[in-house]
Amino acid sequence: MERYQRQILLQEIGQEGQNKLLKAKVLVIGAGGLGSPLLMYLAAAGIGNLAIADFDNVSLHNLQRQILFHENQIFHNKASVAAQNLSLLNSEIQFTIYDEGIHLQNFQEILPLYDVIVDGSDNFTTKYLVNDACYVFEKPLVYGAIHQWEGQFSVLNYPLNNNFSANLRDLFPRPPSEKDSPNCSTSGVIGTVAGIIGSLMANEVIKIILNLHNFVFYNQFLTINLLSLEQKKITFSKNPNNPLNKNWNFEEYDYEFLCHKEVFPKEFTLNLEEFEKIKLSGKPYLLVDVREEYEHLESNLGGINAPMGRLQENELDSSIPIIFYCNTGERSKFCAIQWQKKGYKTYNLIR
């Protein structure tokens, strides 16, 4: 127990509390910006059984905030790499990897296996699915989200005597639209906000496992702005407009549609081979790299550089299609959707 000596000295932990941590089973959904710091602190604290769910691969632009990964691990699955790196920090921990992430086809088999669920995902489709599942399976959920300079977190569905604390739908009964919840790919994020919110989430996981009921952050919602250092704490409770019930039918609830995730038509999504055919056809088009100038200068497919598709509409010919591209297809999809709404024929080029 020498590894945990400093925290065992705390009267809230002691030897008994440390044993609770070593026996605990925690599922962390998302090993990215939030998942990186919280996984590191949970592993360091001695959470004996850590499960990591993430379908994504490490990218170079992740390294600005996803401090768990290294340059030589780019293109590798985040969940697998996270377990590999964390085992170097604490070889006594048992890791379970879900490299397909958590989705409608596997959540019912996975979530019931764990004592605490932690949501570090970056989309409302996953957040509402996990929230609803934790309500049905009666699992405490540590929730976090980040955007630009701001972060927020809470503990949801925490067990209280014969009841549970409020959940996400008590505060937000319906998901926001995609335009009201832009992600890091389209709006940016400062890395430090992920570190702070992820650390706060890890702290709540530890308190939940130790049964420190009076100190767990349930029925409250904290927002922190790191630019102004303003903090807002909202107290909320059960909401009669919450649609959840114990007989909730997950299959009848269209999470993709009801979370207002804007889908770009497949017929206007191009791969490189299809793009080459357009080039060879000789027909006019406008190719737009929506990445930042430094990214365009490093490497590009040609065309003009207009970060986030900031084009001058009065200089465009509406009869000529616009083909947007970026690194991952997310920023370019966002731009293609916005210009399509203005009446232009747009394409999203997936590299």
pLDDT digits (tens, 9 = 90+) for 184-231: 555 778 999 999 999 999 999 999 999 999 999 999 999 999 999 999
Categorize the per-residue pLDDT at 313 as very low, low, confident or very high, splitting at 50, 70 and 90.
confident
- What does the DSSP assignment read for 99-146? TT-S-TTTHHHHGGG-SEEEE--SSHHHHHHHHHHHHHHT--EEEEEE
Element holding 274 (H helix, E strand): helix 272-281
State yes or no: pLDDT of 49 exceeds 90. Answer: yes
Which two tokens mark 118? 């932690």
Percentage of the chain beyond pLDDT 90 is 64
Question: Is pLDDT of 254 > 60?
Answer: yes
Identify whether the C-beta of residue 195 lies closer than 8 Å to the C-beta of residue 226.
Answer: no
**Least confident stretch, 65-79, 171-185, 245-259:** 171-185
CA-wise closest residue to 42 among 113, 118, 99? 118
If one compares 37 and 257, the residue with the highest pLDDT of the two is 37
Instruction: For residue range 318-348, list pLDDT tens digits in order.
Output: 889 999 998 878 788 888 888 888 889 999 9
**Could you give the 3-state DSSP secondary structure of residue 33?**
coil
The first and second tokens of residue 6, run together, are: 């400093």
**What pLDDT is stored for residue 151 in this prediction?**
95
What is the identity of the amino acid at 166?
A
Supply the pLDDT for residue 21.
97
Task: Quote the pLDDT of residue 24.
Answer: 98
- Crossing angle of helices 191-209 and 35-45, in 10° steps, is 40
Which of 48-57, 137-146, 172-181, 229-238 is the least confident region? Answer: 172-181
Q: Residues, the chain, total?
A: 351
List the domains of the chain with CATH numbers: 2-258 (3.40.50.720), 266-349 (3.40.250.10)
Mean of per-residue pLDDT scores for the chain: 90
What is the distance between the alpha carbons of residues 345 and 323, in angstroms, rounded to a whole number?
9
- Report pTM: 0.75
What pLDDT score was predicted for residue 104? 83
Mean pLDDT value of segment 232-259: 83
Q: Which residues contact 347 (CB under 8 A, 6 or more apart)?
A: 268, 269, 270, 321, 322, 323, 324, 336
Q: Which phi and psi (to 5°) does residue 248 adopt?
A: -55, 130
Q: For 84-98, 169-183, 293-307, which range has the lowest pLDDT when averaged over its residues?
A: 169-183
Q: Which of 12-21, 167-176, 268-277 has the highest mean pLDDT?
A: 12-21
Long-range contacts of 183-189, Cβ-Cβ distance < 8 Å, separation of 24 or more? 183/122, 183/123, 183/330, 184/33, 184/122, 184/146, 184/147, 185/328, 185/330, 185/331, 185/334, 186/308, 186/330, 186/331, 186/334, 187/147, 187/148, 188/148, 189/33, 189/65, 189/146, 189/147, 189/148
Query: Do 185 and 331 form a contact (C-beta atoms < 8 A)?
Result: yes
The model's pLDDT over 112-168, given as tens digits with 9 standing for 90+, comes to 999 999 999 988 889 999 999 999 999 999 999 999 999 999 999 999 988 999 999
On whether the CB atoms of residues 63 and 80 are closer than 8 A, the answer is no
pLDDT at 177: 60
Contacts of 323 (CB under 8 A, 6+ apart): 270, 275, 278, 285, 286, 287, 288, 303, 346, 347, 348, 349
For residue 286, give the DSSP letter.
E
CA angle 158, 162, 166 (to 5 degrees): 35
Q: What single-letter amino acid sits at 263? A: V
The model's confidence at residue 10, banded by pLDDT at 50, 70 and 90, is very high
Instruction: For 68-110, write each residue's pLDDT tens digit.
Output: 999 999 889 999 999 999 999 999 999 999 998 988 889 999 9
Q: Coil, strand or helix: which one is 166?
A: coil
Residue whose C-alpha is closest to residue 193's, from 156, 153, 155, 142: 153
Q: How many CB atoms lie within 10 A of CB 65?
A: 21
What's residue 251's pLDDT?
79
Distance (Å, rounded) from C-alpha 331 to C-alpha 259?
19
Give yes or no for residue 178 having a pLDDT over 60.
Answer: no
Of the pLDDT bands very low, low, confident and very high (cuts 50, 70, 90), residue 262 is: low
pLDDT at position 320 is 92
